[in-house]
Amino acid sequence: MQGISDTIARLAALRAQHDAHTADPGTPDQLQTLTNFGSNPGTLKARCYLPKDLPTGAPLVVILHGCTQNAAAYDHHSGWSQLADEAGFALLYPEQQRANNPNLCFNWFLPNDTSRDSGEALSIREMVEAMVVTHGLDGKRIFVTGLSAGGAMAAAMLGTYPEVFAGGAIIAGLPSGSATTIPAAFDRMRGQGGPSEQDLERALRGASDHRGPWPRISIWHGTADHTVAPSNAEAIADQWRRVHELDVAPTYSKSAGRHAKRVWCDVAGEAVIEINMITGMGHGTPLGDGLGSPGPYMLDVGISSTQEIARFWGISATGKSVFTRSQQEVPASQRPLSRSGVPHKEKAKTKSPEPTGIHLFQHLPASGAPGVKKIIEDALRAAGLMR
């Protein structure tokens, strides 16, 4: 019962945080609504943004918001539509509904919503197809990114439909297939337990019959994230490094201010995986360089992940990179890092993560112990998080 008591205690502590970070209804909304895009088994909404005079064959970026967020708010704060105007690509925002999840989280931990041709995953795939066909977009330049639960769902989409996406970016997220039960999801968010590298590779390869080539992956995390443990960034890299058949050691590392980057390149010298760790940053999307604006879980740290991700994918050359050309690429052997990508001293200061994913307990299986389920449901209702 110790784990249950711990969960109930966290519910009370998280009530204030939940109230403070509800989706902002006053956020400017410049997105269009996409309708009639398919069977939509996941019952998601679809929003999109198309810059004026968008040329035929433009890229498409799929963006998955985090818990308590909506599409319009994430677009406004992240700066994706601003960059889309400058660089010339289309945006698709799948949007969660409260009927599916009271906290507006994508259900990244439910097998029925993360399996190929099923649930939310299929709904998103149908939206992508509708955007490409309707607007004449480039089917070979489709990318997906997301924050937190949206980042975990982006990882699921990359695993479930790897042939669809040329690249992905996972911000404060978790590896594909890392949790398929509610207790496991909580443990993974805390950085506890977790599948081995071999099991993560098997989960990724088993999610589809695809055998390559694989998408390019950009990973972002704050070293002070107490919601999703930074160790998940390393697990994501391990998972994708194995399917890309890359060495354990990165090809090179760079650092600039708070930003530390490790990069793995393929045999042609192209960067295919990168981990970006932001020192001292909590749970959220890194912002900066005049792109986007701060908001709940949208953190101004002087680094625009939006800009850097688009540059990594090769769909934007606008703006100035965090890393100047004069900075040398330092081989990993000369820059020893801890598994979190930061010095061990700071890692020791990092507190145990306190997950905000309390929505997970909305889906306790009926077969669970009835006494346990009632205790948790009563606590959720007391916290105002379950009807």
- Mind listing the pLDDT tens digit for each residue in 274-296? 999 999 999 999 999 999 999 99
CB 90 within 8 A of CB 103: no
pLDDT of residue 154: 98
Looking at the structure of the chain, the number of domains it has is 1
Evaluate whether residue 175 is within a structural domain: yes
Q: What domain range is 140 assigned to?
A: 22-355
Evaluate whether residue 246 is within a structural domain: yes
DSSP state of 362: G
Evaluate whether residue 4 is within a structural domain: no
Evaluate whether residue 232 is within a structural domain: yes
Q: Active-site residues: which are they?
A: 148
Evaluate whether residue 220 is within a structural domain: yes
Task: Write out the chain's pLDDT in tens, 387 residues.
Answer: 445 445 444 444 444 444 444 455 567 899 999 999 999 999 999 999 999 999 999 999 999 999 999 999 999 999 999 999 999 999 999 999 999 999 999 999 999 999 999 999 999 999 999 999 999 999 999 999 999 999 999 999 999 999 999 999 999 999 999 999 878 988 999 999 889 999 999 999 999 999 999 999 999 999 999 999 999 999 999 999 999 999 999 999 999 999 999 999 999 999 999 999 999 999 999 999 999 999 999 999 999 999 999 999 999 987 666 665 444 454 544 433 333 333 333 333 333 333 344 334 333 333 344 454 454 545 444 433 333
Structure tokens that stand for 363 in this block: 């889906």
Evaluate whether residue 15 is within a structural domain: no
pLDDT of residue 317: 84
> What type of residue is 384?
G
Evaluate whether residue 270 is within a structural domain: yes
Q: Nearest Cα to 44, choosing from 112, 132, 110, 120?
A: 120
CATH number at residue 256: 3.40.50.1820
- DSSP string over 96-141: --TTT-TT----TT-HHHHSTTSHHHHHHHHHHHHHHHHHT--TT-
CB 105 within 8 A of CB 21: no
Dist CA 51 CA 315 (whole Å):
14
pTM: 0.82
Buried b (16+ CB within 10 A) or exposed e, 315-341: bbeebeebeeeeeeeeebeeeebeebb
pLDDT of residue 52: 96
Dist CA 120 CA 99 (whole Å):
13
Dist CA 275 CA 375 (whole Å):
40
Evaluate whether residue 378 is within a structural domain: no
Long-range contacts of 20-24 (CB under 8 A, 24+ apart): 20/296, 21/68, 21/296, 21/297, 21/356, 22/68, 23/68, 23/69, 23/70, 23/73, 23/104, 24/73, 24/295, 24/296
